[in-house]
């Protein structure tokens, strides 16, 4: 018995560091990911697919986003079971009850609206644990396990959402899933797999090999460790084999660069040029070191060019520590005269200080050098 386990699609998500054009490509990639999941479910001969919560970014999305999601879901040739999570809880305003969803819902797409066991194939049951609010006040998985009895001959997959106590630093959260209870239920045969969602990084929880977060199918943030995957789970008697498949096409890349001269800038330029899939890569850079004004102008040019080709380039201000030191050589062959030369001399005098106006003067000189076309 084989099935596909995905989660955390969060369709409709926007990212502040993407411009309009990159955001459109990112949204499309996330819809395409749904079709990739459908293809993999077919190719690996899965009996069904589960999405363990947070299918949608929130409950108030425009009709078009819902319609496009449902259109992509039509690509599945096996039944798909969607679980409401904390982003899209099954409350009064649930997106799963919206006209856009209900009118467009394909036949094979089901929403897990209750904790009742559903027979999805001969001898196979799903037990969903839907979120009905954004902040449950108890461990919903423990509650549901308490209502279950082992059913000999039935393979049971529980589909749930949220943090697990052994991984969460926030012990005060009453909704945390207690892993010990889950492992007891696996041991006595009440369930055979717990399909979780919420963490965007692929994660196996505990020692059973039967409790997994597949992670988001496309990465959504820099801190994620192993996003862009989905799982094909095969349960056969005592065996449970879990195989990750790569779905995602976008990358979030962190880089820290020590820049103390032209050699370091050459290295940075080479690294940016050799990165693959730049139009689908969001870069976050931490810049450290000391550059002359001319070198800073060259760096600004490089970053401007990178912004043109990468999906996004963020300078991580909080960790950036880049000093700019005007150097006589910066101005040696700057060909200005008259009032322009007077302005340069005034700015150079102002730039020597350490206050805010000195920083402004250095920025102005750096821009002047850039505009004057200096490169070395
Ligand atoms: Mn979540």
Q: How far is the CA of 311 from the centre of ligand 1 (A)?
A: 25
Instruction: Determine, yes or no, domain membership for 276.
Output: yes
What pLDDT shows up at residue 129?
Answer: 98
Q: How far is the CA of 53 from the centre of ligand 1 (A)?
A: 7
Q: How far is the CA of 9 from the centre of ligand 1 (A)?
A: 10
Domain boundary (214, 246, 278) is at 246
H helix or E strand, kind and range, residue 155: strand 155-161
Q: How far is the CA of 241 from the centre of ligand 1 (A)?
A: 25
Q: How far is the CA of 40 from the centre of ligand 1 (A)?
A: 24
- Low-confidence residues of the chain: pLDDT under 70: 373-376
24 and 152 housed in the same domain: yes
214-233 b/e (C-beta count within 10 Å ≥ 16 → b): bbbbbbbeeebeebbbbbbb
Q: How far is the CA of 293 from the centre of ligand 1 (A)?
A: 46
194 and 286 housed in the same domain: no
CA 273 to each of CA 153, 253, 305: distance values in angstroms, whole numbers, following the listed order:
57, 14, 10
Q: How far is the CA of 54 from the centre of ligand 1 (A)?
A: 6
What are φ and ψ of residue 273, in 5° steps? -65, -30
Domain of residue 78, CATH code: 3.60.21.10
What are φ and ψ of residue 148, in 5° steps? -100, 145
Instruction: Determine, yes or no, domain membership for 205.
Output: yes
Length of the chain (residues) = 376
Task: Return the closest-CA partner of residue 305 out of 258, 334, 268, 276.
Answer: 268
3-state secondary structure of 359: helix
pLDDT in tens, 246-288: 999 999 999 999 999 999 999 999 999 999 999 999 999 999 9
Q: How far is the CA of 289 from the centre of ligand 1 (A)?
A: 39
What are φ and ψ of residue 271, in 5° steps? -65, -45
16 and 69 housed in the same domain: yes
Task: Return the closest-CA partner of residue 236 out of 206, 200, 210.
Answer: 210
166 and 274 housed in the same domain: no
Instruction: Determine, yes or no, domain membership for 239.
Output: yes
d(CA 119, CA 128): 12
240 and 264 housed in the same domain: no
What pLDDT shows up at residue 276?
Answer: 94
d(CA 291, CA 376): 12
Instruction: Determine, yes or no, domain membership for 195.
Output: yes
Query: In which residue are the tokens 């899209």 written?
Result: 88
What pLDDT shows up at residue 375?
Answer: 47
pTM greater than 0.85 (yes/no): yes
236 and 297 housed in the same domain: no
What pLDDT shows up at residue 366?
Answer: 83
What pLDDT shows up at residue 374?
Answer: 53
Q: How far is the CA of 127 from the centre of ligand 1 (A)?
A: 18
219 and 258 housed in the same domain: no
229 and 202 housed in the same domain: yes
Q: How far is the CA of 102 from the centre of ligand 1 (A)?
A: 23
Domain boundary (246, 277, 297) is at 246
What pLDDT shows up at residue 320?
Answer: 84
Q: How far is the CA of 343 from the centre of ligand 1 (A)?
A: 56
3-state secondary structure of 326: coil
35 and 163 housed in the same domain: yes
What pLDDT shows up at residue 353?
Answer: 82
Q: How far is the CA of 338 from the centre of ligand 1 (A)?
A: 63
191 and 259 housed in the same domain: no
Domain boundary (228, 246, 264) is at 246
Instruction: Determine, yes or no, domain membership for 299.
Output: yes
Maximum CA pair distance of the chain? 93
Instruction: Determine, yes or no, domain membership for 143.
Output: yes
Residues 6+ apart with CB under 8 A from 335: 372
Neighbours of 362 (CB within 10 A): 22
Q: How far is the CA of 10 from the centre of ligand 1 (A)?
A: 9
Instruction: Determine, yes or no, domain membership for 376.
Output: no
Q: How far is the CA of 8 from the centre of ligand 1 (A)?
A: 7
Number of separate domains in the chain? 2
Q: How far is the CA of 351 from the centre of ligand 1 (A)?
A: 49
32 and 131 housed in the same domain: yes
68 and 175 housed in the same domain: yes
Instruction: Determine, yes or no, domain membership for 255.
Output: yes
Q: How far is the CA of 89 from the centre of ligand 1 (A)?
A: 10
Q: How far is the CA of 161 from the centre of ligand 1 (A)?
A: 7
Beta bridge partners of 327: none
Q: How far is the CA of 198 from the centre of ligand 1 (A)?
A: 4
Q: How far is the CA of 218 from the centre of ligand 1 (A)?
A: 15
Per the structure, the complete domain to which residue 327 belongs is given by: 251-371
Task: Return the closest-CA partner of residue 112 out of 133, 134, 127.
Answer: 127
Q: How far is the CA of 219 from the centre of ligand 1 (A)?
A: 14
């Amino acid at each position: 018995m084989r099935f596909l386990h995905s989660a955390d699609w969060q369709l409709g998500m926007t990212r502040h560091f993407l411009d309009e054009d990159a955001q459109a490509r990112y949204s499309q990639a996330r819809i395409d990911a749904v079709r990739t999941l459908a293809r993999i479910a077919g190719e690996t001969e899965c009996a069904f697919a589960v999405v363990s919560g947070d299918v949608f970014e929130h409950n108030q999305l425009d009709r078009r986003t819902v319609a496009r999601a449902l259109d992509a879901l039509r690509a599945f040739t096996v039944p798909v079971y969607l679980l409401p999570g904390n982003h899209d809880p099954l409350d009064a305003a649930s997106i799963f009850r919206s006209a856009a969803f209900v009118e467009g819902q394909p036949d094979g797409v089901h929403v897990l609206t209750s904790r009742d066991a559903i027979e999805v194939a001969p001898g196979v049951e799903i037990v969903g644990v839907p979120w009905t609010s954004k902040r449950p006040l108890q461990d919903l998985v423990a509650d549901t396990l308490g209502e279950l009895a082992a059913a000999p001959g039935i393979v049971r997959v529980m589909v749930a959402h949220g943090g697990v106590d052994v991984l969460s630093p926030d012990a005060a959260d009453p909704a945390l899933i207690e892993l010990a209870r889950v492992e007891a239920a696996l041991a006595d045969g009440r369930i055979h797999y717990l399909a979780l969602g919420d963490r965007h990084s692929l994660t196996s929880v505990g020692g059973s090999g039967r409790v997994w977060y597949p992670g988001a199918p496309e990465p959504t943030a820099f801190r994620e460790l192993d996003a862009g995957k989905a799982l094909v789970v095969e349960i056969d008697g005592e065996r449970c084999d879990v195989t990750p498949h790569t779905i995602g096409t976008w990358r979030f890349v962190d880089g820290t660069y020590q820049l103390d001269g032209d050699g370091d800038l050459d290295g940075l330029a080479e690294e940016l040029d050799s990165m693959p899939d730049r139009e689908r890569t969001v870069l976050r850079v931490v810049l450290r070191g000391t550059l002359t004004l001319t070198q800073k102008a060259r760096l600004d040019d490089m970053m401007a060019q990178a912004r043109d080709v990468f999906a996004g380039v963020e300078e991580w201000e909080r960790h950036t520590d880049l000093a700019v030191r005007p150097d006589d050589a910066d101005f040696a062959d700057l060909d200005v005269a008259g009032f322009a030369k007077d302005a340069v001399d005034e700015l150079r005098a102002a730039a020597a200080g350490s206050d805010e106006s000195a920083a402004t003067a250095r920025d102005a000189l750096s821009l002047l050098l850039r505009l004057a076309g200096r490169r070395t």
